[in-house]
Structures are given as C-alpha cells and as structure tokens.
A = this chain, B = another copy of it.
Amino acid sequence: MDEAETILVADDHPVFRDGLGSLIQSQNPTAAVHTFDAFSDALALARSLPSPPSLFVLDLFFSRKSIKSELPALRREFRRAAIVVVTMSDDTATIDAVMAAGVNGFICKSAPPHQIAAAIAAVRAGEIVTPSPAAGRAPAGGMSTTLSERQLEVLQLIAQGKTNKEIAQDLGLSPFTVRLHVSAMFRSLGVTTRAAAVTKGVSEGIL
C-alpha cells in the first residue's frame, strides 16, 4: 500500500519493547519498524528520514513536565504521524495530560497483546483510543501515507471534481504535468481511480 512506511517504537524496557516491536511488525508486514531504548534516539532517526514516520509508539518515559513540552513538540513536528503512548501508569490525570498533548492513542502496558494490537490498528485507521474514562478531546489526525505537496494539491482539486485540464489551470501547469502528478499520487495511495483516491484521502484524514 505504501512502500516506505516507517514505524518507530521507543521503550526502555527491553522485553516489552521487543514484544511490542514484533507485534507491530506482524500487524504491518510492509512497514519498516524500528525500535529504540530512548526517545531521543527515535526522534533523531525520525528527523533524519527522507519521509516522516507514520506512527510513533512511545513508552511514557516522560516526566510530568515533559508531557507538556516534549510530547506537544513531537505532535507539532510530525503533524501527519500517529502517536501512541504506552505506559504503566494509567491514572486519570496522566491520561488526560497525555491526550491533551494531542496524541492519537493511550495504551496501558498491562493490557493483553490483542488489546494493544486492536488499539494500534484503530489509531492507524484514524481513531482516537483511550483506556477508560477520559473525554479528552484530541486534535490532529494520524496518517499513514505521505504525498508530496503537488500530489496533495492535485488530490484536493480532484476531490472537488475538477478535470486534469481545470487542475492545470488552477495550478498554472501543463495538463500533461498534472497527469503525472495524478498517476504518481495514485501509486502512493495504492489506487487506480480518482474516486478511490478521494475515499483513501478521506480515510487517511488528509481531505
């Protein structure tokens, strides 16, 4: 579906980290899953990647303070990535604080694997997942596909029902060029028609 999709897992507990990594890898066979024992390492790789990762799964080695600084900063820097926090402490205050930072999911480490898997799948599908009570509104969407600027522009105009000719006029391009962007965008989304591209765009939260 998306050739170079990257997922980053950071957790300082080796056993849990490896288990989590293989769980996610088996759930997303086509994705490149990288695991780290420190958040800073994951962040460093994320920044060095040609295209940003689609999913962060992070242990909460955040102090109370950095929940309010590092986490929102991560959210801002990787607007299009889904962020899931996995942690031991699942008290309401922590959940609220983390969700308020704009992450897409909060999972308790004590949860059984199938529960963690379901939660991650739901987040990757665009939902917001929290363990228990918490009406914590969360902004920003996670998306697992990356499009270039032009491709995104083209997709938005396609969603408006415009023809390639009209898109070319709108963007000040040749219709031939528009076609190439359309084809490339289709390949990125794994579709072959404009209609399917719109559906995909909506489900990915980019429309």
Given contacts A196-B159, A196-B161, contact A127 B131 (CB under 8 A): yes
Other than the given A129-B129, A195-B195, 11 more pairs (CB < 8 A) read A118-B125, A122-B129, A126-B131, A126-B132, A127-B130, A132-B205, A133-B138, A136-B202, A161-B191, A161-B195, A198-B199
Residues from chain B with a CB closer than 8 A to the CB of A119 are: 122, 125, 127
Q: Which residues of A contact B (CB under 8 A)?
A: 92, 96, 99-100, 104, 107, 110-112, 114-115, 117-119, 121-122, 124-142, 158-163, 191-199, 202-203, 205, 207
Using CB atoms, name the residue of chain B closest to A199: B159
Count of this chain's copies in the oligomeric assembly: 2
Q: Are B137 and A92 in contact (CB under 8 A)?
A: yes
